[in-house]
């Protein structure tokens, strides 16, 4: 099922194109791409296919693909759904490498349509033709003026080539993003919508874009991902090539997810997992189109700061406070200037606030040279990775805007790895001058902070070489049928997960003897492969002290479980020492329908259940990544000794998390989920008090 | 110390103005306002005061205020700080009601400046002159072309009158807000910056604006509030007059708060309290300037929906998903259409998504009349309080933009209480047409959701009549000196707070007897007015069972406390029954330096300490407000029976919270703080297990 290799050249740089269902009417779906290609002067033959006409919009038309003289590279198909598969086959015979299908009436209308979509996919595979769509709005390559799309936005806004490219599942929303980019003056090189994704999906498109040197920044929009591995590959490629991927994954909310799945007829997967994957592989997830455009715009200088230390220089104390607030929201480090440097700033300008934000006050208007002096000191002594200057409307003042720009240009030439953003209001021409000089600028200070945060995030992601992942263990022996708690514990113990000592008693007398041997307060739990929820059947007793009590508890537990589930196979009762202290955690793995084995970790109880404070990471990964995962918990301070407790053994915890990730990756094909709840993190080590493995249903 | 009454007319509509320190140079601080007033044709005499010149910028100049013929209404003062107070006195003698002081070098430079600022304030009080500033950038009234400001933005952007007004502590940032508004086409009527606020503060300005019929919307910026009662009064006035207040309070973060306090030299107060106050009195708090302008813009039709039920109508499924996600982020209700109505929509357009978002698909382009039909059905059957239509770039299409607007205008005329926002990209003229017809429009769908959320919030706030607050109790007898736990409990019990039963034992034998009498497991705690942190001195033992054990515990506790704090007065040991079950909460009150007595409530342990999930409300208030407070907790589900527990008695909890608010309000002048930690919320009732009252230090 692996698709034939496709290069972006096949998709976006065909030499010749046939349009099946071409219309003479420029406003119709089959007419618009013909019109776009003529008006934009696409440099290559365009063959309209229309059995009823000799000419279409002035071009010679052909009754069918077979009638075209010679070969074609690309077929655009806009005929009713039932006719599409045949056209794909014919396109293959004419040498086409790609067929793009505008036609709707496939997967999006239900089962019948889905069957037709499967037929279409097969036809493509058999004919050696990659398919984009069906039900897609098209694509464009603004460099070669190749416009196989029926979007009318092309008429209203002729694309300007640039380093940004767009990959979108949604045609209409993809157009919206394009239009918004255009009206912001952002040049778009490639624009590709994937529609129903019978074959080529948005992840593969991102991969193809990430491989291109002429693509500097990728904006992606998706409602669901069909191929998780492909997306990971795409994001890794982008990261290796230092190409920022700005990702809008919608369907975060309950209503949104329902709407997305009714819209695309595909399973959305869990949003928290998407979120973790995008973060894990260095894509910046946005919630709004505006943020997407802002970040893409700020990427233009292609400076991705090495750290997240932000310096703020301002001519308004208030703006400084506002920006410091926003920087904290985004986890940026607004450390103060060193004391010595502050004193030096004060000696230059006694009324300045020299800390950070650095406030040069209205004195700025009298002496612009304060800016380069202060800026150099912030970069040299403060060591900030990025700076934001708040200039408000001064750029609109002819005697300030240009000199300030000259100062900035001269200064920042000496600090080519530091990003400088401006906040200013002014005439478009002046703002564009700053932009062209490598100083992206924003009207709104908060938006400049968000853009800075994104670029610092990219800098961090690009600087990180992918960490070595320990070798996977051999597949575990999971036995036949369901695994009991004891079975799950021994499988996980073998995988390097620390398990509480437990002993199986098959009679009350055995329980008595074991209890006497272990000593101290004990936990007793029913042992049965058929009983997953032990508490609910009265199958658990905690804090049992002494042999006699243990014997009695055994009898009670077995009787209660038998009464509740008469057909369950009961192996006996497990006895374990009670482990007190430390912090209760949850550690688990699940097999995500999109991304395969993912590990989840969180603090127990209310943290997980009420506060939803759980972090995910795609398996497998090593201990360093596990440590980062722990640090992402909002409640991480609890593990580090908040509330007067001892800090727990984070190394042990990270080891356990990583080991579970290796186990999950090695056995993912046979698992549904693994859960250790609770896993108790202790001052030294950690230990799972319970374990549950759900195996995949045999199919 | 109560200031003389000032009307906005005195501030903003003077008949005559004197400018002390007027300069002939239009670019200087003392020259700009002269120039603004001349160029904008202020309709009244302007008297430049300059002892060195006969004329200033063509106007006859006077050597001093005393030399002006007749009286003046308003004095603008731009002379060195040490000379200002005298000028204020002279202005008073000439009949001025207001003096605005541009001069810096007052409170913002430290103690010496602060003393001068106090002198200035006194001079104003003695002369009967209200003072704006010092260190302020000025104000304007665009209607009367009154421009006493040295902001150069006036030259670059002549104000256009409108219903929006701006109150800002920061001059530079206030100018930025003004410029950004201007470039968005938002007309600003009044713009007032308050600077150091020696006399008139931003809260009073908001109050004055809120009283004006010609002010439809208020944008406010503040770093700290000097007079909490005045702010509450201002916000209540605005709410009563259905005037939205859009509030940017900066200094939320640690760095931001530090910068704000160094900037304004005043105490910032706790951000969570500001947040609660703004919510309590119906102001919408924004984090960015863009959001401030967006919301003000969306207020133009002055439709504040009665509820938060939002309908989305879209021509792109993807945009619908995106908007549903954002709506959930803002707590809006995106309920689906009723089933019957969905079926009806489907019968009109089989491929429509009829739930909500309602997706009319690209069929929209063929039949625009779908929009009014669908819209009516959504308003009639769906009952949505507001609608957002996603039209992307269609407004730019001449044959779609105008007809769609006509349809919307005709339809919405029948639903004057429902707000309709559009998301669209198009030429400015077309966007303005929508706007003028009462359909504010946004390029970015997320921003439209935020604006809708704000307007629904105002609708809710305006619809709420201020709830009756129960009468305050008489001041409590707090005794002399510090209150012991037992003393605090009895004071609070008398105030209607349920306290756990406790008994004081003064000897081990008494402890034995009391324990036998109460029965069950007990908590024993040292009783001493001098020991506030009992656990730290070994003064607490929990789960003590039996008389003998209680006697031993008594001896141990007393010995331990004596050893740790030899000078503490020890009254004995308190015995209470252990109360298990229910949910541990924290209920307290503190005297905020700005807003006086505020009550705080949260869930105990990690919720409060790690997750910072605590809600505040200004005292006093009744049980309905207390219920709302409880509902604002992120972890409220724990109280309602999450994690398999019984729901707690919310009425009892609300009663306790309200009672504490009455107590705090009645005794606030003698209190520092009150804390009941834990307060245990039970299935029936609630009970405080500990109580601490800190009284105000005698001064």
Q: What is the DSSP string of A76-108?
A: EE-S-HHHHHHHHHHHHHTT-SEEEE---SSGG
Same domain, B145 and B195: yes
What is the residue range of B507's domain?
Answer: 501-577
Name the minimum distance, in Å, from the CA of B252 to any CA of chain A. 6
Chain A residues in contact with B176 by the CB 8 A cut-off are 316, 319, 392-393, 425
Report which of A53, A70, A73 is spatially closest to residue A61, judged by C-alpha positions.
A53
Computed over every residue of chain A, the mean pLDDT equals: 92
Q: Is the pLDDT of residue B264 over 60?
A: no
DSSP B573-616: EEEEE---SSEEEEEEEEEETTTEEEEEEEESTHHHHTS--EEE
Q: What is the distance between the terminal CA atoms of chain A, rounded to a whole angstrom?
A: 21
B7 touches chain A (CB under 8 A): no
Q: Is residue B476 in a domain? A: no
pLDDT tens figures, A70-122? 999 999 999 999 999 999 999 999 999 999 999 999 998 889 999 999 999 99
Q: Is the pLDDT of residue A679 over 80?
A: yes
Mean pLDDT of B224-247: 96
Name the minimum distance, in Å, from the CA of A583 to any CA of chain B. 12
Computed over every residue of chain B, the mean pLDDT equals: 92
Q: How far is CA B537 from each of CA B10, B486, B506, B563, rounded to the nearest angstrom? A: 62, 18, 18, 8
Q: Is the pLDDT of residue B266 over 80?
A: no
Same domain, B553 and B589: no
Q: Which two structure tokens, joined as six digits, stand for A114?
A: 């889905």
Distance CA B388, CA B420 (A): 6
DSSP A503-565: EEESSHHHHHHHHHHH-SSEEEEEE-TT-S-TGGGT-EEEEE-SHHHHHHHHHHHHHHHHHH-
Name the minimum distance, in Å, from the CA of A286 to any CA of chain B. 11
Q: Which two structure tokens, joined as six digits, stand for B362?
A: 């690209």
Q: Is residue A470 in a domain? A: no
Query: Whole-model pTM?
Result: 0.93
A26 touches chain B (CB under 8 A): no
Distance CA A635, CA A603 (A): 7
Chain A, chain B: beta-carbon pairs less than 8 Å apart: 255
Write a three-state SS string for A381-450: HHCCCEEEEEEEHHHHCHHHHHHHHHHHHHHHCCCCCCEEEEEECCCHHHHHHHHHCCCCEECCHHHHHH
Pairing assessment for the beta strands A686-688 and A59-60 based on DSSP bridges: unpaired
What's the half-sphere exposure (Cβ side, CA atoms, 13 Å) at A194? 23
Tell me if A290 and B183 make a contact (CB, 8 A cut-off). Answer: no
Same domain, B176 and B152: yes
Q: Which two structure tokens, joined as six digits, stand for A182?
A: 């255009």
Same domain, B16 and B93: yes
Report which of B292, B635, B560, B557 is spatially closest to residue B447, judged by C-alpha positions.
B292
Phi and psi torsions of A228, nearest 5°: -65, -40
Same domain, A572 and A640: no
Tell me if A172 and B392 make a contact (CB, 8 A cut-off). Answer: yes
Q: Which of A549, A577, A605 is the last residue of a domain?
A: A577
Same domain, B529 and B439: no
| A 385-404: CB under 8 A from B | 392-393, 396-397
Tell me if A329 and B287 make a contact (CB, 8 A cut-off). Answer: yes
Q: Is residue B486 in a domain? A: no
- Region of B361 please: left (phi>0), alpha (psi -120 to 50) or beta: left
B324 and B478 in contact (C-beta within 8 Å)? Answer: no
Tell me if B325 and A642 make a contact (CB, 8 A cut-off). Answer: no
Amino acid B534: pLDDT: 86
- Region of B365 please: left (phi>0), alpha (psi -120 to 50) or beta: alpha
Q: Give counts: helices (H), strands (E), chain A.
A: 25, 28
Q: Is the pLDDT of residue B646 over 90?
A: no
What's the half-sphere exposure (Cβ side, CA atoms, 13 Å) at B608? 17
CATH of the domain at A23: 3.40.50.720
Distance CA B340, CA B9 (A): 57
Same domain, A149 and A121: no
Residues, chain A, total?
Answer: 699
b/e sequence B368-382, b meaning 16+ C-beta within 10 Å:
bebbbbbbebbbeeb
CATH of the domain at A524: 3.30.1490.20
Q: At what angle do helices B445-463 and B289-298 cross, to 10 degrees?
A: 60
* pLDDT-derived band at B260, boundaries 50, 70, 90: low
Amino acid B268: pLDDT: 42
Neighbours of B636 (CB within 10 A): 16
Same domain, B262 and B158: yes
Name the minimum distance, in Å, from the CA of B179 to any CA of chain A. 7
CA A143 to chain centre: 29
B643 and B582 in contact (C-beta within 8 Å)? Answer: no
* pLDDT-derived band at A395, boundaries 50, 70, 90: confident
Chain A residues in contact with B447 by the CB 8 A cut-off are 288, 290
Beta strands in B455-521 (DSSP E): 503-505
Distance CA A645, CA A683 (A): 9
Q: Is the pLDDT of residue B313 over 60?
A: yes
Distance CA B147, CA B137 (A): 11
Same domain, A146 and A289: yes
Q: Which of B105, B135, B165 is the last residue of a domain?
A: B135
Tell me the sheet residues that pair with A441: A422
List Cβ neighbours of A200 (8 Å cut-off, separation of 6 or more): A3, A6, A11, A130, A131, A132, A194
Considering only alpha carbons, which residue of chain B is nearest residue A608?
B643
Amino acid A156: pLDDT: 84
Tell me if A250 and B318 make a contact (CB, 8 A cut-off). Answer: yes
Q: Is residue A260 in a domain? A: yes
Highest mean pLDDT among A241-250, A390-399, B360-369: A241-250
Q: Is residue B328 in a domain? A: yes
Same domain, A86 and A228: no
Q: Which two structure tokens, joined as six digits, stand for A157?
A: 């806004």
Pairing assessment for the beta strands B596-603 and A139-141 based on DSSP bridges: unpaired
Report which of A119, A249, A396 is spatially closest to residue B322, judged by C-alpha positions.
A249
Facing B324 at nearest CB: one of A169, A255, A397: A255
pLDDT tens figures, A450-473? 999 999 999 999 988 777 889 999
Distance CA A288, CA A24 (A): 38
Chain B residues in contact with A169 by the CB 8 A cut-off are 318
Name the minimum distance, in Å, from the CA of A667 to any CA of chain B. 31
Mean pLDDT of A628-657: 91
Facing A176 at nearest CB: one of B176, B257, B392: B392
Amino acid A6: pLDDT: 61
Name the minimum distance, in Å, from the CA of A455 to any CA of chain B. 20
Q: Which of A135, A157, A177 is the last residue of a domain?
A: A135
Same domain, B265 and B165: yes
Q: Is residue A468 in a domain? A: no
Distance CA B539, CA B526 (A): 5
Amino acid B352: pLDDT: 85
> If you ran DSSP here, which 8-state letter would residue A468 be given?
P
* pLDDT-derived band at B201, boundaries 50, 70, 90: very high
Q: What is the CA radius of gyration of chain B?
A: 31
pLDDT tens figures, B518-555? 888 999 999 988 887 888 899 999 999 988 999 999 99
Tell me if A609 and B290 make a contact (CB, 8 A cut-off). Answer: no
Same domain, A247 and A159: yes
Report which of A426, A372, A42, A110 is spatially closest to residue A265, judged by C-alpha positions.
A110
∠ at Cα B110 (B104, B116), nearest 5°? 60
Name the minimum distance, in Å, from the CA of B681 to any CA of chain A. 16
Q: Which two structure tokens, joined as six digits, stand for A383?
A: 């060591």
Q: How high is the ipTM of this complex? A: 0.92
Of the two residues B520 and A695, the one the predictor is more confident about is A695
Amino acid B265: pLDDT: 40
A27 touches chain B (CB under 8 A): no
Q: What is the distance between the terminal CA atoms of chain B, rounded to a whole angstrom?
A: 21
Q: Is the pLDDT of residue A699 over 70?
A: no
Amino acid A366: pLDDT: 81
List Cβ neighbours of A680 (8 Å cut-off, separation of 6 or more): A579, A581, A582, A583, A584, A585, A686, A687, A688, A689
Q: Is residue B601 in a domain? A: yes
Considering only alpha carbons, which residue of chain B is nearest residue A446?
B288
List Cβ neighbours of A347 (8 Å cut-off, separation of 6 or more): none
| A 452-481: CB under 8 A from B | none
Mean pLDDT of B631-647: 86
Name the minimum distance, in Å, from the CA of A555 to any CA of chain B. 27
Amino acid B262: pLDDT: 57
CATH of the domain at B667: 3.30.470.20
CATH of the domain at A164: 3.40.50.261
Q: Is the pLDDT of residue A4 over 80?
A: no
* pLDDT-derived band at B573, boundaries 50, 70, 90: very high
When scoring A28, A105, A172, A221 by the number of chain B Cβ atoms within 10 A, the one with the most, hence best to mutate, is A172
Pairing assessment for the beta strands B522-527 and A245-249 based on DSSP bridges: unpaired
Number of domains present in the structure of chain B: 5
pLDDT tens figures, A333-369? 999 999 999 999 999 988 888 999 999 887 887 889 9
B363 touches chain A (CB under 8 A): no
| B 75-134: CB under 8 A from A | 109
Considering only alpha carbons, which residue of chain A is nearest residue B288?
A446
Tell me if B175 and A635 make a contact (CB, 8 A cut-off). Answer: no
B261 touches chain A (CB under 8 A): no
Q: Is residue A524 in a domain? A: yes
CA A397 to chain centre: 42
């Amino acid at each position: 099922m692996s698709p034939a290799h496709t290069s972006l050249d096949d998709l976006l740089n065909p030499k010749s194109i046939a349009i099946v269902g071409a219309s003479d009417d420029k406003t119709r779906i089959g007419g618009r791409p013909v019109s776009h290609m003529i008006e934009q002067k696409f440099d290559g033959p365009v063959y309209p296919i229309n059995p009823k006409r000799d000419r279409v919009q002035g071009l010679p038309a052909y009754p069918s693909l077979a009638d075209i003289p010679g070969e074609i590279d690309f077929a655009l198909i806009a005929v009713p759904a039932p006719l599409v598969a045949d056209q794909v086959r014919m396109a293959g015979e004419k040498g086409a490498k790609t067929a793009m299908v505008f036609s709707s009436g496939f997967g999006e209308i239900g089962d019948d349509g889905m069957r037709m979509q499967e037929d279409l996919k097969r036809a493509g595979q058999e004919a050696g033709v990659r398919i984009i769509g069906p039900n897609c709005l098209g694509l464009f390559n603004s460099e070669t003026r190749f416009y196989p799309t029926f979007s009318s936005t092309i008429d209203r806004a002729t694309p300007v080539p640039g380093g940004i490219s767009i990959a979108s599942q949604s045609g209409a929303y993809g157009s919206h993003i394009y239009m918004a980019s255009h009206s912001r003056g952002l040049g778009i090189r490639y624009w590709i919508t994937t529609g129903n994704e019978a074959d080529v999906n948005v992840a593969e498109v991102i991969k193809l874009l990430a491989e291109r040197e002429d693509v500097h920044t990728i904006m992606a929009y998706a409602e669901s991902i069909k191929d998780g591995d492909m997306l990971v590959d795409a994001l890794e490629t982008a990261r290796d090539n230092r190409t920022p991927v700005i990702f809008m994954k919608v369907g975060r909310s309950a209503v949104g997810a329902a709407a997305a799945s009714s819209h695309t007829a595909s399973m959305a997967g869990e949003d928290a997992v998407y979120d973790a994957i995008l973060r894990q592989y260095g894509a910046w997830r946005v919630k709004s189109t505006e943020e997407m455009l802002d970040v893409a715009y700020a990427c233009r200088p292609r400076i991705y700061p090495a750290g997240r230390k932000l310096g703020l220089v301002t001519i308004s104390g208030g703006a400084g406070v506002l920006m410091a607030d926003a920087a904290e929201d985004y986890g940026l480090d607004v450390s103060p200037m060193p004391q010595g440097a502050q004193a030096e700033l004060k000696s230059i300008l006694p009324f300045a606030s020299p800390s950070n934000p650095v406030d040069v006050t209205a004195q700025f208007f009298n002496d612009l040279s304060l800016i380069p002096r202060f800026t150099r000191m912030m970069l040299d002594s403060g060591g900030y990775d990025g700076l934001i200057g708040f200039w408000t409307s001064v750029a609109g003042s002819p005697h300030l805007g240009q000199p300030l720009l000259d100062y900035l240009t001269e200064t920042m030439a000496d600090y080519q790895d530091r990003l400088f953003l401006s906040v200013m209001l002014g005439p478009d021409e002046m703002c564009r001058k700053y932009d062209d000089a490598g100083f992206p600028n924003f009207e709104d200070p908060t938006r400049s902070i968000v853009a800075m945060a994104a670029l610092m995030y990219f800098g961090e992601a690009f600087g990180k070489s992918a960490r070595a992942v320990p070798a996977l263990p051999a597949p575990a022996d999971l036995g036949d049928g369901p695994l009991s708690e004891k079975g799950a514990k021994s499988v996980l113990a073998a995988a390097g997960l620390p398990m509480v000592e437990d002993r199986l008693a098959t009679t009350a007398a055995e329980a008595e003897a074991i209890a006497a041997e272990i000593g101290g307060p004990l936990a007793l739990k029913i042992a049965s492969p058929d009983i997953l929820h032990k508490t609910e059947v009265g199958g658990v007793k905690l804090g049992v002290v002494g042999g006699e009590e243990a014997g009695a508890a055994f009898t009670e537990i077995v009787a209660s479980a038998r009464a509740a589930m008469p057909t369950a196979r009961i192996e006996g009762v497990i006895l374990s020492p009670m482990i007190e202290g430390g912090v209760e955690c949850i550690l688990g793995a699940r097999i995500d329908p999109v991304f395969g084995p993912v590990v989840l970790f969180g603090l127990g109880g209310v943290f997980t259940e009420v506060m939803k404070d759980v972090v995910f990471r795609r398996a497998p990964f090593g201990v360093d990544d596990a440590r980062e995962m722990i640090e992402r918990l909002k409640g991480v301070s609890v593990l580090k000794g908040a509330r007067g407790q001892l800090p727990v053994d984070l190394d042990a915890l990270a080891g356990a998390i990583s080991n579970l990730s290796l186990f999950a990756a090695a056995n993912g094909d046979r698992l549904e989920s693994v859960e250790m709840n609770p896993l108790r993190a202790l001052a030294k080590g950690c230990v799972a008090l319970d374990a549950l493995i759900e195996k995949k249903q045999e199919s």
